[in-house]
Amino acid sequence: MSDQTNLAAILEKNEVAILTAWVQEQLTSNARQGVISEGELTEASRVFLSLSSRARSEATTTRISPAMHGNLSRSI
């Protein structure tokens, strides 16, 4: 199993826990207070993690396709 595939599997298996912890960290950050609602932050973070995991599982090299890069860029 390649490192990319292994990381994608770890992200997928632990997505809920990672998302929960990451959103909490962002919510407690002074930089995020009042900028975005918790629901919007959770959804944006979920989309980013999902696209990151998909990009890792589909990657055959260290390069990300222009289409995937566009999706990741729009999610952040």
CA–CA dist 25, 74 (Å, integer): 21
pLDDT of residue 4 exceeding 60: no
pLDDT per residue as tens digits for the range 29-74: 866 577 788 899 999 999 998 888 777 777 655 565 666 666 666 6
CA–CA dist 39, 45 (Å, integer): 10
Task: Return the pLDDT at 36.
Answer: 83
Task: Return the pLDDT at 61.
Answer: 54
> Residues 26, 45: contact at Cβ < 8 Å?
yes
